[in-house]
Structure 1
Amino acid sequence: MRNSKKYFALALSMVASACTYDFPETAEPTAGEADFSKMVSVGSGLSTGFMNGALYTAGQDASFVNILAQQMEVVGGGTFNQPDVNSEVGCYNPAAGCSAGRLYLKINPTTGSPGPTPKIPGDMNALAPFSGGATLNNFAVPGTTLLLSLIPQTGGPAIPQNPAYNPYYTRFASTPGVSTIIGDAATQFGNGGTFLTFWLGNDDVLGYATAGASAAIPLTTNDDFNTRYNSALSTMLSASPNAKGVVANIPDVTSLPFFSTVAYNPIPLDAATAGALTSQLAVNYNAFLDGMVGNQIITADEAAKRKLTYIAGNNPILINDETLTNLEPYMAGPYAGLKPYAIARQTTKNDLVCLTAGSYIGANLGANGVNGVSAPLTNTTNANTQALKGDDLILIPTEITQIQNSISAFNGIIKTAADGNATRLAFVDANAILASLKTKGAEINGSTITASIAPPFGGFGLDGVYPNARGNGYLANAFIDAINTKFKSSIPHCNPNNFAGNELPVP
């Protein structure tokens, strides 16, 4: 008993000693060498919270810059005012009068598979004028190229007279048709702005890419990008000479689920259908190609690329490829029926299929055949419409190379500009970050996030281009890392798991 008392007293002594242990203090968050009291943001759709094909309240609330501003509050960050649309569903199609709202996942009753579908009706209020422009902090506008950020036509008058018109800018422009996005942002930044987030340049390549490299949306030249980027950035930095900021580069399009959700071989055929297509189309077309080789019109290699194969199982998409030899002049007499296939081939794993193609593949075009199966893919589901070329639905290898070369050149210009302002600007390699997310995914506090639109782990909205709320949280942390490293700040990370992913499909 005596020993027990001694041990008990020793235990009490140890507990007492433990209670007086001085734990190391947690480091207080600090702004470091930067001042976050008034942040101004300039960018395109990536900086607005645009997601699921529309600008709506929940998306705006979860814009990466709004999340960033919230995290900055603990290190002296101030109010961050965005041009709120006050809309639950937003507007999916401004040019068509907002007849449809944001995308959601809906089960296709025919195939049983989920797919992005507009929520009808849309909300014209999403384009209503915004009255808080005098205190605005977020000047990002969906669809903004560098050119559109610098010219007054972006604010009006409306299309079709003015193709530069952007209704999202018009709603908060200081003087629609006279002011510019950069001009308005610079005015606000010059009025006590202390920190800048600048992420322009994405839409100088993104619009062209998502349109399937269509000439209708031109790709910015390297020289124009260089001139416009440096003009816009220098205007902003000159407006508040002592302010600091962060810039980001352009992600590779192959990192976006818009180009990876629909496989190159998404067409399921049973044995009977595959056999019928082979006998009715493939045999004749392939024999014709052999004849073209024999007459030295095309090479054997080109013929091999063009020959059609239909199997029981998953099949590639029949498309038109403008880089192929146009064989229409030779499709006469018994081969006249092959004219729709003058530049046709099936897709391979080297092609990128746009997410929008899913709405057209398999549509019955009447006498023209089945879209993407027996008829080259076209952007129509109308059986009474003559098949078009469908250039806005596929990126072929030459187009992918062209786009990636432009992204590489543009990113070189952005990095040079960041390095030229090294004392003032942090740099975010968004290209590398999203490429890693695409190839490896990421784990955050035990929860996975992927570069896909699939719930519950997908980090992109249903348009396949813009991050969803969880993806924006992930992006915000990447910006926080760059800012903290550059300016010796200690802005805390957000928890992306606190933000919603994509909703489950509805019947």
Structure 2
Amino acid sequence: MCFLTLGCDYTFPEPSVDDKAKVTDADLSKSVFVGGTLFSGLQDGALTTKSIENSVPNIFFNQIYGDSIAEMDFSPKVASENGFNIFENQSLTSNIGRYKLVYPTPDTADFTRVNTLGDPFAYQSPSNATYNFSFPKAQILDFTEANRNANPFLADFFGNTNRPMINEATDLAPTFFVLNLGFEDLLAYAINGAEGNQDQGTAASHVYGDIISEALFEAKLNEVINAFYAANPNAKGALMNIPNFLNFPYFIEVRFDITPYVIKTPLYNKLLQKANMYNNELENYYLQNPSIPYEQRRTALDFASDRQYNWGILVTDRDMTNANGHNGQPLPKVRHAERDERIFISTETKLNKSKGHFPENALSESEYLKRSELVLIKNKISAFNQIISNVVAQSNGKLSLVDTHTYFETLYDGLDLFLNKRADGIVVDGVLFYPGIEKNGIFTSDGLNLNPRGNALIVNKIIESLNSGFNGNIPYVNVNAFSGTEIHLSDN
């Protein structure tokens, strides 16, 4: 099967830039996007026929090439209503589909996230030239390393190839490129609970969940950019930096407190019983080992009735000191989650059933992020963003910066997890755009990816960068023309 134009005899027609969308100092006539999940069109955890139509690249292309929202297909396509859920399925042959939000009544903000029946994953053969080279979970090494084939979604589209995947984009000799690289590398480390290598300096040793070193990221970013310049010396581009995704709903939708999941349920009495047993063992251990300094001792589990709604979810923490039970066996290293730590949205359906209440079912290290890990990830975001800014500054005007980091900081103004304060969001033409999962939200139900109205906001940041950096007059997208996340009532 021929997936790309490169190996086919047929030449796809190329779109032309609308006269209303010109830039003086760059040529947008053959633009390409390269990135990961954010640019791929994934929504609600899955790529679907509809979601791809409203991806960031598709919205951008249809803004500069015509007036229709989904007039042309520029991205790899799938033929599936519910798609393939990249967070739930373990292989491309599985068929868990996109998430669906279910509300009990129209006037509530509380929702349940349920799975739908989807389809095994498969890209369609393109009906016209591909200009969006963005794929779920695609990291920078997936584009630069020959024979890597670590990302199943790239492999499904391109087939087995021993070339660096970035060559599939540069073979088109693009006049302009938009890159979203680095985001997926840091996100993978975070959603795997910071369990990977935090400074992997060797490309061949990298696995999903590792963070590549800053030196390797800089080298590979320049390698991608230079590949475009080699294909077209007159090419120019825009580099998107990395937002503080630790404020995305995936990381903050589930709060630190176990109370709502256990109070007035059969779990409550069992929780108290298990906590008392653990505390007694811990107290006896310290009575038998009085020389252990108090600052090195673990704190007891506290489910006191006057602290309801401050009962932290139980989490495993391997950094805690050792302590043994009466039988000489190690006591589980568990504690309460703290207010500003991040509990993943993927754990929520387990919190009222099987996770987070007893020492033996505390959340694992891969299911939350502790304070030290949050600091490390924020520092990595800053370091990668500095590299991206430096590359743009040193490009002699050939590159512009799409500053999504600052933009999301504006969206999250007012957010305070410790004080339980919501973000303010922004108002566009009288309509609230809230950085969360809700009726006015810009995120889909997976908590990481944006819905069409959120993607439209990102497109406008790209347009702003091009207009400023390359003397353009591209009109902004009407973000209120795009839909939000679908919601369903429980009786539907």
Partner of 2:53: 61
Partner of 1:197: 178
**Tell me, what secondary structure is at the counterpart of 2:223?**
helix
Match of 2:233 among 241, 252, 258: 241
CA shift for structure 1 position 107: 5.5
Partner of 1:460: 443
Match of 1:482 among 457, 462, 465: 465
User: Structure 2: how far apart are the matches of 1:101 and 1:136?
Assistant: 25
- Matched-pair contact (CA < 8 Å) for 1:31–1:488: yes
Match of 1:325 among 314, 321, 324: 321
User: Structure 2: how far apart are the matches of 1:151 and 1:274?
Assistant: 50
Which amino acid is 1:285 matched to? Answer: Y
Which amino acid is 2:176 matched to? Answer: F
User: Structure 2: how far apart are the matches of 1:448 and 1:289?
Assistant: 50
Q: Specify whether residues 260 and 196 from structure 1 end up closer, same or farther in structure 2 by C-alpha distance, changes over 3 A only.
A: same
Partner of 2:214: 222
RMSD: 2.9
CA offsets per residue over residues 60-115 of structure 1, 9 Å max, x none? Answer: 1111121111222369xx97622111322111126152321111113599xx9522
**Tell me, what secondary structure is at the counterpart of 2:407?**
helix
Q: Specify whether residues 272 and 291 from structure 1 end up closer, same or farther in structure 2 by C-alpha distance, changes over 3 A only.
A: same
- Matched-pair contact (CA < 8 Å) for 2:274–2:359: no
Q: Specify whether residues 70 and 496 from structure 1 end up closer, same or farther in structure 2 by C-alpha distance, changes over 3 A only.
A: same
Q: Specify whether residues 360 and 278 from structure 1 end up closer, same or farther in structure 2 by C-alpha distance, changes over 3 A only.
A: closer
Q: Specify whether residues 274 and 87 from structure 1 end up closer, same or farther in structure 2 by C-alpha distance, changes over 3 A only.
A: closer
Give the total of aligned pairs: 438
CA offsets per residue over residues 97-137 of structure 1, 9 Å max, x none? Answer: 2321111113599xx952222211x123x41452458x211
Are 2:161 and 1:177 equivalent residues in the alignment?
A: yes
CA offsets per residue over residues 172-222 of structure 1, 9 Å max, x none? Answer: 32x52323321111111x1xx221111111111111111222337222222
Are 2:305 and 1:311 equivalent residues in the alignment?
A: yes
Q: Which runs of 5+ in 1 are unaligned?
A: 1-26, 156-163, 365-370, 379-388
Are 2:435 and 1:451 equivalent residues in the alignment?
A: yes
Are 2:360 and 1:360 equivalent residues in the alignment?
A: no
CA shift for structure 1 position 435: 2.2
Partner of 2:12: none
- Matched-pair contact (CA < 8 Å) for 1:41–1:196: yes
Q: Specify whether residues 202 and 272 from structure 1 end up closer, same or farther in structure 2 by C-alpha distance, changes over 3 A only.
A: closer
**Tell me, what secondary structure is at the counterpart of 2:94?**
coil
- Matched-pair contact (CA < 8 Å) for 1:468–1:501: yes
**Tell me, what secondary structure is at the counterpart of 2:353?**
coil
Partner of 2:383: 409
TM-score, length-normalised on structure 1?
0.79
Partner of 2:122: 127
User: Structure 1: how far apart are the matches of 2:281 and 2:312?
Assistant: 20
TM-score, length-normalised on structure 2?
0.81
Q: How does 1:79-90 map to 2 (within 5 A)?
A: 81-90=74-83
Which amino acid is 2:43 matched to? Answer: M
Q: Specify whether residues 291 and 253 from structure 1 end up closer, same or farther in structure 2 by C-alpha distance, changes over 3 A only.
A: farther
Which amino acid is 2:168 matched to? Answer: D
Q: Which runs of 5+ in 2 are unaligned?
A: 1-18, 197-207, 414-423
CA shift for structure 1 position 394: 0.7
Are 2:201 and 1:206 equivalent residues in the alignment?
A: no
Partner of 2:373: 399
User: Structure 2: how far apart are the matches of 1:506 and 1:423?
Assistant: 51
CA shift for structure 1 position 377: 4.3
Are 2:145 and 1:151 equivalent residues in the alignment?
A: yes
Partner of 2:405: 431
Instruction: Say which structure is richer in helix.
Output: 1
User: Structure 1: how far apart are the matches of 2:350 and 2:264?
Assistant: 23
